[in-house]
Amino acid sequence: MFEVVNSIVFFIIAIGALITFHEFGHFWVARKMGVIVLRFSVGFGPSIWKHVPKNSHTEYRIAAIPLGGYVRMLDGNLDEINDELRPFAYDAQPLYKRSAIVAAGPLANFLLAALLYGAVFAIGTEGIRPIVGEVVSGSLAEMSGFMQGDELRKVDGRVNRSWEQHHFHILNKIVSGSVIDYEVSSQGAERIVTVDFSQLGQVDLNSGSLESLLGMYPEMPLIQAIVGEVVDGYPAQAAGMQPGDRIMSINGEVVRSWVDLVSFVSNSAESALLINLLRDGEPIEILLEPRTVEVDGKQVKQIGIKVNPDQQFSNSDHIVVIRYNPIEAIARGFESMWSTTVLTVKMLYSLLKFEQSADSIGGPIAIADYAGKAAQAGVNNFLTFLALLSISLGLLNLLPIPVLDGGHLMFHLYEALVGSPPTERMLVWANQIGFALLIGLMGLAFYNDLSRIF
């Protein structure tokens, strides 16, 4: 129940922030262009709160349905306007001003994404040192010449300080099937490793991680074999195991890490396990019989304990923190925004060519789920999620579909080329088609959401 409430709360926070910033883009530019704004609404439907400041034409409003918003401007096509107010109407403005007002909403989303990324870089991001721990046999990484122990110093000439630092740049190269150069250091010697992603052929990014596509995994820090949680009804609980217990050995075999622990338990041939552990510095022996369960179609043994994801790694040398001063952080933020936007456009193009699965399209339920999980994972994760969502919202609104900002810009382009706006009949037909396309897209998103649940 807590997770559901948490997801709903952070969904409203995320959507509310992005919509407000988007609509403020329209609002701010409209005011700068001398257009009277009658209403600034976050949400649709019945009003929850509204306010009209003194000596102002604008009603500020929060509505009940938090799935959008709008800026209602004075417009001769909708309002009866006297001669005094006519110069301040939207439809009285020249084409370039109307286009600037329409484009301001999506551009505000891109600006917000850059600022959010900048905040993440200023706060500091924690990552894994860029050292190769495993190269899969027969993989693209092996064919390219990577070896275990290689330190990835630069990626296409960019200094690389963590395994994840240039994630979106690499994904861009994968989607476009391009070549990427890694500057690698190993035992004091440096060399260039060139990876040609065109060898992967058509890639569905939903089918696996970047590491699995490349066939190369980082050298991971050892996670101590300390119990984070004891699962109800499992052998560990029945035997009296407690959170905080540090497992030292199993049936005489020394346990150095959580990986050792999982391996010993799941692969043990004995029916009973003698576990030696430390509790508050005192040695304790526990005898238990693991339970056999089915995981992904395989029979494995479990004792019913979970790792604490917040526990310290036993080798902190594997962890790096990347932090920039405010000016450089903002610059990095704009760079990340651009890389993410380009990648998203390429993904959309691949989707239209049926090269990517439509399963990746998510609706409100998926967004709420991701929002809740990102918030639980920490401030940086939530800010990064907001940045990705803001870019998606900006691109969605730029699609040339009537009723969206991109549709209005399409009409403005028609007006610029022809010399007159589209006829009333053209607008009616275009809006009906656009509405149908939008309903279809929303239907697909809801279908994917429900498919993930059921």
Q: Using CA atoms, how far apart are residues 147 and 167, in angstroms rounded to an integer?
A: 20
Q: Using CA atoms, how far apart are residues 142 and 148, in angstroms rounded to an integer?
A: 10
Phi-psi region of 43 (alpha: psi -120 to 50; beta: other; left: phi over 0): left
Q: Is it true that 126-220+315-322 and 227-312 share their CATH fold?
A: yes
Residue-range domain boundaries for the chain = 96-124+323-454, 126-220+315-322, 227-312
Q: Helix or strand or coil: residue 367?
A: helix
Nearest to 139 by CA among 189, 191, 210: 210
Please check whether the domain covering 227-312 is classified as CATH 3.30.70.141: no
Which of the 8 DSSP states describes residue 213?
H
Which one of the listed residues 3, 23, 270, 415 is annotated catalytic? 23
The tokens for 31 are 């005011």
Q: What are the C-alpha distances in Å from 437 to residues 98, 423, 434, 443?
A: 25, 21, 5, 10
Q: Name the strand (E) or helix (H) holding 120.
A: helix 95-123
Q: What are the C-alpha distances in Å from 383 to residues 7, 122, 324, 380?
A: 15, 12, 16, 5
In tens digits, what is the pLDDT along the chain, a chain of 454 residues? 556 677 777 778 888 889 899 999 999 999 999 999 999 998 888 889 988 888 888 999 998 887 788 899 998 888 888 888 889 999 889 999 999 999 999 999 999 999 999 999 999 988 888 999 889 888 899 999 999 999 999 999 989 998 888 888 888 888 888 899 999 998 888 999 999 988 887 766 665 677 888 888 888 777 788 888 888 888 888 889 998 889 899 888 888 888 788 888 887 777 788 899 999 889 999 898 888 877 666 777 888 888 876 665 545 677 888 899 999 999 999 999 998 998 888 877 776 666 655 565 655 666 666 667 776 777 888 898 899 889 988 998 898 888 789 988 998 998 899 888 888 788 788 777 777 777 776 776 666 656 665 5
Give the start-end residues of each E strand in 163-303.
Answer: 179-186, 189-196, 216-218, 227-230, 246-250, 253-254, 273-279, 282-288, 291-295, 298-302
Q: What share of the chain is helix, strand, coil (3-state, %, to 5)?
A: 50, 25, 30
Spell out the alpha helix ranges (H) of 318-423: 326-352, 364-377, 379-398, 405-418
Class of the CATH-defined domain 126-220+315-322? mainly beta
Told to judge if 23 belongs to the known catalytic residues of this protein, a careful annotator would answer yes
pTM: 0.77
Q: What are the C-alpha distances in Å from 410 to residues 15, 375, 397, 415, 416?
A: 26, 37, 12, 9, 10
pLDDT at position 366: 64
Between 2-32 and 379-398, two packed helices, what is the crossing angle to 10 degrees?
Answer: 50
